[in-house]
Amino acid sequence: MTRGPRDKQMTVAEVVDSLEDGMTIGVGGWGPRRKPMALVRAILRSDLRDLTLVSWGGADVGLLARAGKLRKVVYAFVSLDSVPLEPNFQRARQQGTIPEVVELDEGMFLTGLRAAAQRLPFLPTRAGLGSDVMVNNPWLRTVTSPYDGPDGVQEELVAVPALHLDVALVHLNRADAHGNATYLGPDPYFDDLFAMAADRTYLSCEQVVDTAGLTVEAPVQRLLISRMMVDGVVETPHGAHFTTCTPDYERDERFQKAYVAAASGTADEWAAFEQRFLAGDEDAYQAAVRAFAEEQA
């Protein structure tokens, strides 16, 4: 296929081949919602190690933690929604297999991404003040506002350091070959901030369409990601499975239950799940998921 000079389409393998050990990788989406899971699964199959993962976490954190890929995790939560605590992450925390963890208040996490997106060393926030976040992260600092407040007092604020990313991975409903992308669901989450906080951004999507087609299903204000933010575009139908990608599909709750059962079970039960669903490439994964759905019907 002949590609134009601004065509940024890539394969999943090409994206993962561009990554390196020790990188800081931000994963967009929110818990079990619109995660770039095809890219996460490819990292899982790779030889990459010692990664720092920055995420409003879901199964992306759990899978990579279980596989021993992570040196550090920066997160505000790691949840599957209907399962409050992601089981593979819970196991890793209890066994101490993630060398370093940084748990932030959600507002602090957002502030850190905003600082990185604006290329600032930090931004101030009230989030986290008076909480154990400050106790458990003693490296966090406070700053005094240089301006008087309404009561004449100069306020003390948390100085949240920028969450700078080497690479951001995000998943959107539709994209063009240049990297413009739109979401069709009810929430943009913070994928644009992940992209702006990163040196490089790889965007997976349900479908690559002509640029004009981006406004067919959604108004122009749902163009969340600009081509200026994106280094590579990967078309991955059902690439967010088993998380949601509304309205294309909702969370696969039956599959999630099977995942949770295996993650919470014996080593043999997890090995069987891995062998069935995670041992092959993305096409093999999707075929196994279809077979599972037929069994459950």
Domain assignment of residue 59, given as a range:
12-105+163-254
Cβ–Cβ < 8 Å for 214, 46: no
Q: What total of structural domains would you count in the chain?
A: 2
Has residue 290 been placed in a domain?
Answer: no
Q: Where are the alpha helices (DSSP H) in the chain?
A: 12-17, 37-45, 59-66, 87-95, 106-117, 132-136, 191-196, 253-264, 267-273, 282-296
Q: For each of the chain's 297 residues, which pLDDT tens digit applies?
A: 446 668 999 999 999 999 999 999 999 999 999 999 999 999 999 999 999 999 999 999 999 999 999 999 999 999 999 999 999 999 999 999 999 999 999 999 999 999 999 999 999 999 999 999 999 999 999 999 999 988 889 999 999 999 999 999 999 999 999 999 999 999 999 999 999 999 999 999 999 999 988 888 777 678 899 999 999 999 999 999 999 999 999 999 999 999 999 999 999 999 999 999 999 999 999 999 999 999 998
Residue type, 145: S
Has residue 204 been placed in a domain?
Answer: yes
Has residue 259 been placed in a domain?
Answer: no
* Domain C-terminal end among 239, 254, 269: 254
Same-domain check for residues 140 and 30: no
Q: Where does residue 167 rank: exposed (0-12), middle (13-18), buried (19+ CB within 10 A)?
A: buried
Strands 141-148 and 122-125: unpaired
* Tens of pLDDT, residues 160-200: 999 999 999 999 999 999 999 999 999 999 999 999 999 99
pTM as predicted: 0.95
Has residue 228 been placed in a domain?
Answer: yes
Same-domain check for residues 70 and 29: yes
Same-domain check for residues 150 and 168: no
